[in-house]
């Protein structure tokens, strides 16, 4: 069952169906504000052990020791081709993720997967990041696309 049915699967996931501020949203929505960078964004992440998982449709990095979050990371993905679905990455530091834009989109939304909890403040760098053709090819090989 796809995302349109998540709210029917468990009562704890009702927000996925009935929530009022679900993410993602159209970035032209009036809830989205453009924030001028006046100082460095405060990030309250700490280094943690992580596991990379091939979920078939994407690559997930699960960090232990705090709420799970996903982000794309090409390091260690190549070792997953034709190998196991999960591998230990060791220690990663989310504070090393590069931020560089001078403006950000910000809105109140939700988690994008169950339980679809609302009240999440999304801050999105307006600076478009690119990936190489080799990185796209590598990701496609891992998820068998």
Buried b (16+ CB within 10 A) or exposed e, 24-34: ebeeeeeebee
DSSP 42: P
5 is catalytic: no
Same domain, 92 and 61: yes
Instruction: Give per-residue pLDDT as tens, 62-103.
Output: 766 544 443 434 444 444 444 556 666 566 666 666 666 778
Q: Which of 20, 26, 28, 57 is catalytic?
A: 57
**13 by DSSP, 3-state: which?**
helix
For 10-52, the pLDDT digits (tens) are 999 999 999 999 988 888 888 888 888 656 666 666 777 777 7
Look up the domain containing 70 and give its range.
Answer: 43-98
Task: Verify that 34 and 104 share a domain, yes or no.
Answer: yes
Whole-structure pTM value = 0.60
Does 72 share its domain with 139?
Answer: no
Q: Domain with 106 in it: what CATH number?
A: 3.10.200.10
Question: CA-CA-CA-CA torsion for 122, 26, 111, 109, nearest 10 degrees?
Answer: 60
Q: How many residues does the chain have?
A: 145
**Number of structural domains found in the chain:** 2
């Amino acid at each position: 069952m796809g995302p349109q049915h998540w709210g029917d699967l468990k009562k704890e996931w009702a927000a996925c169906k009935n929530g009022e501020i679900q993410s993602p949203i159209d970035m032209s929505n009036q809830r989205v504000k453009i924030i001028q960078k006046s100082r460095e964004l405060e990030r309250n992440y700490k280094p943690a052990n992580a596991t990379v998982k091939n979920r078939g449709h994407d690559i997930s990095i699960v960090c232990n020791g705090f709420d799970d979050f996903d982000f794309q990371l090409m390091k260690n993905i190549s070792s997953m081709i034709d190998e196991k679905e999960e591998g230990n990455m060791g220690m990663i530091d989310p504070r090393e993720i590069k931020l560089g834009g001078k403006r950000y989109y910000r809105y109140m939304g939700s988690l994008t997967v169950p339980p679809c909890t609302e009240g999440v403040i999304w801050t999105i760098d307006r600076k478009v990041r690119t990936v190489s053709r080799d990185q796209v090819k590598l990701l496609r090989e891992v998820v068998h696309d």
